[in-house]
Structure 1
Amino acid sequence: MGSSHAISGAAAWVAVTATAVPALGLYPLAPSAVLLGALVAAGAALLPDADHHNATIAHSVPVLGKVAAGAVETLSGGHRHGMHSLLALVGVITATIGLSFVQWTPQGWDHPLQFGSAAAVAACTAFAVKVLTLVKSWSTAWLVGALAAAAVLASGPHAVSWLPVCIGVGFVAHLIGDVLTVEGVPILWPLRWRAPRFVRGLPIVSQVWKANGSFAIPILGHAGSKREWLLTLPLACYALWGLGASALVVYGPI
């Protein structure tokens, strides 16, 4: 399921930012930013599942990954609880903005090095290339992430000003995907609002507004269903189309 989340994150980023293909145009960026941001958004789309001990992120670093995922799982109340909420979305975006202030200007340099943003880019890129099986090992995934981080460090201070938006787009793509499953997500966590008593027994209400406070529009069935993969296929095609068109703008015809 991690790959479907990553693909949805990349497709969402293309839809929001690309100018070389039909897109929403909500946050238009240069094609180079679309290319790098697609990998970052794909990795960010895995962040909500940091609350699961067997998620992709839990395997990213030996021992420490599982320890971190276990801690997040405990603090957020378990899988598909706190990390799958609007509160977590705000927290992740705020943390990304905070990382942008972690910088240092070496003597003789004309711009600060964005170490915080570079670290976020490295991690999300590593998550993305591994879950999409673009590389085989985590060591190679982190090498790719390090190269992306180096590009950020070599760029000017505003090169990744779009990073908080990118992380948010990937995170939201994951939440939307989970809302479309039977299990749903507790989007208003830690609030546990239930449907009003007089409509609670209606079948449609019980499917959309669950007793545990989760919301669902279960058109995809259960998580990991065939319907989910049928949706993932056109999303993958759209993402590849958008990235290919952006690459042609940046690098020209091959």
Structure 2
Amino acid sequence: ERTRVEERPGTFSVLLQRSVLGMRIAVVFPVEHIIFVLTIQLRLASAATSETCDAQASISNYFLHGPDAWKLVQHATKLFCLVYHSNNNETGSEMPCLCARVSFEETLEREAKIFYQFSPNDTELLTGVKPVKMHKTDQAYKHENEIIVKNVVNETKLEEAYRVLYTDYTSCAVLHSVSLGTQVWVHRDVLLDEREVPYLCHLVYELSAQDKRHMVFQWKHCQMRRSFTENIETPASLPTPTRLNKDVHAGHLSI
């Protein structure tokens, strides 16, 4: 039996394929009708196999097309903002109204630099840039499904993997990392126009995080802060990357 979520014109549906008496039968259900089944399957799988695999890996298996981390990076030419995440509840106070986009990409190397910014208050803007590269967790995936972020902490180089659980590449993305847990990033334009997380990103997050949520993007405050209103889009001509210097704030890298 195989269950996958398939995008179709104007809607999302679930394709259920099952072999019956040697014949393969395919039935399409609206995604709303399968939510309960997915939830039970995911939680049972997580409980039964927690020592050998993680629940996040199983989520992407339900989708017809596996995630493409490099495609997501290439589409992030406008700000995506971190709305909420499941681990480390201090992030919202340390880096409130956090948004990020591509500042430079090297297509042949499949590497990039991600520009990020956050605003602790109405007047302050703190910025930084981090180099990233792509990684494939399993050769069964067609594309790289992780974004490896290169950090520098106290002059020590560290890497952290952000696995792409689900994305539609244009409105939102659900990622998972050790430090933040499961996280939802939403395109600035979507937040501006709709003021909510797109349905499928919300669904995938709920299945993965199971009601754990720490808010980072508070609409009441963030909509007017500089991290949401400035440096919105990558320049048409991407600049040559410059040498990075340490920022005086919290060990972040600055442009």
Same structural fold, with TM-score higher than 0.5 when normalized by the shorter chain: no
Higher helix share: 1
Please state which band the TM-score falls in when normalised by the shorter chain.
Answer: under 0.3
Give the alignment's TM-score, normalised by structure 2.
Answer: 0.25
Give the alignment's TM-score, normalised by structure 1.
Answer: 0.25
